[in-house]
Amino acid sequence: MLRSRYNKKATSLRKQWVASNTARLRRSQAMYLKRNSPRNVMPDKTAFVWIVETLSNSPECQECMVWPFGTYPNGYGKLTIHQIKYQVHRISYIITRGSIPEGLRILHSCDNPPCFNPLHLRVGTAKDNTQDAITKGRMHCGERSGPSKCTDEGVRLIRDSNLSLEELSVRLSLTVRNIRRIRSRDTWKHLP
Ligand SMILES: [Zn+2]
């Protein structure tokens, strides 16, 4: 019951977002085309127009939108605009949501580097990115990963469950002291 109410709310929020988003997409496409006179056609112009059109045409797409052109060795889509190379997921974020604050990264909730679906993208710090990698098992979690061995899920378990500190200690392989500090929000303050 609660869940269906939540879904309804999420759908209506998404619809609102899509409505304002479509207008922004149209504007950015018009601006791009105005700035680029026919004489000044960049080799990757087609790819840029393609991404703008794809984003405009499928604003409600829930699946991963995989970049079909060139990619970096790490799998991120590559797009050249005025001889400068960009990562496609960042371009997608800029087109649909606006500028990315200085020094921040764009993270994939789907963990699929060539995906540029704006619904799968969010801003975060380099630290969030590392934490994401640990949570999703992209990085080793253990002696080599430094002092912080807990994950976002672990923190949620510590704060939301009724398990005792000792039970949590065994389950998460953390010390009781660490768990107490996480539960009292002395550490992992960035999570609710
Ligand atoms: Zn995706």
| Token pair listed for 91 | 């371009």
Model confidence at 25: pLDDT above 80 = no
Set out the domains of the chain in order of their start, with CATH numbers.
Answer: 2-124 (3.90.75), 139-183 (no CATH)
Sign of CA dihedral 12, 15, 20, 24: positive
Distance 165 CA to ligand 1 centre (A): 36
Is pTM beyond 0.85? Reply is no
Distance 143 CA to ligand 1 centre (A): 31
Distance 13 CA to ligand 1 centre (A): 19
| pLDDT tens digits, 33-87 | 555 444 443 445 678 888 888 888 888 888 899 988 888 888 899 988 777 788 9
Q: For tokens 């105005």, name the residue.
A: 34
